[in-house]
Amino acid sequence: MLRVATFNVNGIRAAHRRGFGAWLDGRGCDVVALQEVRAPIAALPERAFGDYYTAYDPGTLAGRNGVAILTRMPPAAVRGWGAPAVLLGPDGAPLVDAGTEPDDPAYPRLARELREFASQGRYLEVDLANAPVTVASLYLPKGGLPAHLQLPGRMREKPDGGARYERKMRFLAGFARQVTASRRAARARGRGFLLMGDFNIAHGPLDVVNWRRQHRTEGFFPEERAWLDGLIGPRRLVDVVRRVHPGVQGPYSWWSWLGESFTNDTGWRIDLHLATPTLARSAVAAVVDREPSRDARLSDHAAVVVDYVTSP
């Protein structure tokens, strides 16, 4: 059995203050993909990742982004997009600069559209040493409204002429090719491929509350959902949680901090496990670790945990 989680912690230091360490120690995961760690290595809490080895890319934007992958054993390989990712031991000390250089023939070159994101701490992948699986952690840009939907006075954020929207569209265009190349590279090495993270897109009506009202909301635009349609397929990547829970509303993984969204379960399912078909078929359980109350929340997201029947 291989227990794998994805968790946008919305700042690892804040999550630790709220009890992340206890969750990690008690959950029994073999692999944990994290997003929005938002901390340089020097600022991490003591024993931030317990007894795990941690592939870590905080990015270069202070207080933003950052991804990590926690494993019980040192991974066989670590690959990122920017500067070589760092592998931390259980004591938090860097072991090696473990990134694969962009010109390594074993790793696909970075898509042109992704180069502006290369140093932002948005993607990291590892080859597990104890299972034939490549695991990736993704933090996809949230985006914004296209210019024609930006109405001054009706937005919480300052209008930007569609810049955030266009930036997300560039990322999606490049990442579609990049993930296909990574999936095929894993297959060539005899490995399954598991892409996890915060996609900032709800795929369908079952993945967001009041879906008919959301067509003009970032994260549910038809073009964003169509992009996920192109990523997901029976011969490409399978939405594991939806496979385990077909035809049900949710289970949601993100709720706004504002108002009563969490209490009323007015959420979005945007934190995904996307696996190659054979690996997806091995999933026997998938749960969202939704806290019992708003005050007990570790983040505005909850961990999504899947058990796969594959040798750890």
CATH of the domain at 248: 3.60.10.10
User: What does the pLDDT average to over 136-151?
Assistant: 93
User: What does the pLDDT average to over 216-232?
Assistant: 96
Q: For residue 275, what are the domain limits? A: 2-308
Residues 306 and 4 sit within 8 Å (Cβ to Cβ)? yes
The domain total for the chain is 1
Residue 160 reports pLDDT greater than 60: yes
Q: Any bridge partners for residue 271, and if so which?
A: 198
Distance between start and end Cα atoms, the chain: 6
Residue 189 reports pLDDT greater than 80: yes
pLDDT of 63 reads: 87
User: What does the pLDDT average to over 136-154?
Assistant: 89
Residue 97 reports pLDDT greater than 70: no
Residue 137 reports pLDDT greater than 50: yes
Residues 221 and 215 sit within 8 Å (Cβ to Cβ)? yes
Q: Any bridge partners for residue 7, and if so which?
A: 34
Q: Is 276 exposed, middle or buried (0-12, 13-18, 19+ CB in 10 A)?
A: buried
Can you give the C-alpha Rg of the chain in angstroms? 18
Residue 222 reports pLDDT greater than 70: yes
User: What does the pLDDT average to over 156-175?
Assistant: 92
**What is the DSSP secondary structure assignment for residue 165, as one 8-state letter?**
H
pLDDT of 101 reads: 46
Residue 102 reports pLDDT greater than 80: no
Rounded CA separation 312/308 (Å): 9
Question: Which of 142-151, 188-197, 251-260 has the lowest average pLDDT?
Answer: 142-151
Rounded CA separation 38/43 (Å): 10
| Spatial CB neighbours of 232, under 8 Å, sequence gap ≥ 6 | 203, 238, 239, 274
Residue 96 reports pLDDT greater than 80: no
pLDDT of 263 reads: 95
pLDDT category at 61 given cuts 50, 70, 90 is: confident
Percentage of residues of the chain with pLDDT beyond 70:
94
Helix (H) or strand (E) run with residue 153 in it: none
